[in-house]
Amino acid sequence: MENTQNSPLLPDMNSVWQLTLNWQPTKEQNDLFERLYEGILSGNRQFNLTRIAAPEEFWEKHLWDSLRGVVPLLPSVNSAPRVIDIGTGAGFPGLPVAIAIPQSYITLLDSTRKKINFLQTLIEELGIDNTKAIVGRAEAIGQQPQHRYTYDIALVRAVGSASVCAEYALPLLKTGGLAVIYRGYWSEEEKDSLTGAVEQLGGVIESVEKFTTPLSNSIRHCLYLRLMSPTPAKFPRAVGVPAKQPL
Ligand code: SAH
């Protein structure tokens, strides 16, 4: 949809960005967020991409939440990080990250072709040239040399349990790379069971951050998993196995 009025649909949140993340989008980045929002609204009219469609909710759950996981990493990431967003759906968290960190190279992965077709069109329309969208299963690309052991950062939001996300993400990381697993609720007991799974994959749970979202005060957690040594070749297991028999 063209926004013929040229007045933004998204609220001006620069002071909230600054207060919560000590970061703010430039004018160009805000324009891209707006065009991303309009593109998602228009995609939603063709097929169900996301139920989050109201402007403030979109800002909080898709833009702010996506960036909350990565903006704190910015000072420590290398100058042109390779990032993969596993199970990106309508492009989250990967597309806001691509806009916020233009020097990164982002791969958006989803197993649903219709979502990837939509994203390829959207990326081109918005001129987001540091990003490509590919169809595939995390378990399959995790065994392909062009993807395995090649990424600095892997992002996974709302794809499965934490240990399933870890089995998808860690084989794709270089040694020293970081997986960011976005969760809502999280408990110490879950952390205990995840620890063993992450160890088998060659990683450690480096930190768990708890926070609330700035508008609706919803609880969120980000788990940061660091790859310490290459993931053993048997992981990820065959398509479907990680979800059926979690580590
Ligand atoms: N990350 C997005 C979408 C979450 S819905 C968000 O937070 O808004 C989960 C998405 O993961 C779906 O689009 C589904 O097609 C994809 N998915 C599930 N399992 C997958 C797998 N093994 N490999 C790749 N994509 C997967």
**Which residue minimizes the CA distance to atom 14 of ligand 1?**
87
Sites in the chain below the pLDDT cut of 50: none
Which is the closest atom of ligand 1 to the Cα of 112? Answer: 15
Q: Kindly give the distance from the C-alpha atom of residue 160 to the centroid of ligand 1, in angstroms, as a whole number.
A: 8
Structure tokens at 79: 């100058």
Report the pocket of ligand 1 as residue ranges, CB < 6 Å: 86-89, 92, 109-112, 115, 137-139, 157-159
- 89 CA to middle of ligand 1, Å? 5
Sequence-separated (6 or more) residues with CB below 8 Å from residue 198: 163, 166, 170, 204, 205, 225
Atom 6, ligand 1: which residue's CA is nearest?
A: 92
Distance in Å, CA 182 to ligand 1 centroid: 13
User: Where do the domains of the chain lie, and which CATH numbers do they carry?
Assistant: 14-244 (3.40.50.150)
Residues whose CB falls within 8 Å of the CB of residue 124, separated by 6 or more in sequence, listed in order = none
The ligand 1 atom at the shortest distance from the C-alpha of residue 138 is 23
| Ligand 1, atom 23, residue with closest C-alpha | 137
Q: How far is the CA of 110 from the centre of ligand 1 (A)?
A: 6
- What are phi and psi for residue 198, nearest 5 degrees? -65, -40
Residue nearest atom 11 in ligand 1 by C-alpha distance:
87
Q: Which 3 state secondary structure label does DSSP give 40? A: helix
Atom of ligand 1 nearest to the CA of 91: 2
Q: Which of these, 108, 111, 82, lies nearest to 95 by C-alpha position?
A: 108
Cβ atoms of 165 and 156 closer than 8 Å: yes
CA 75, 77, 79, 84 torsion-angle sign: negative
Chain centroid, CA 220 distance in Å: 14
Q: How far is the CA of 27 from the centre of ligand 1 (A)?
A: 30
Q: Are 168 and 197 in contact (CB under 8 A)?
A: no
- Quick one: DSSP state of residue 230? P
Say what the pTM is: 0.96
Model pLDDT, residue 201 = 98
Which distant-in-sequence residues (6+ apart) come within 8 Å of 204 by Cβ?
198, 225, 226, 228
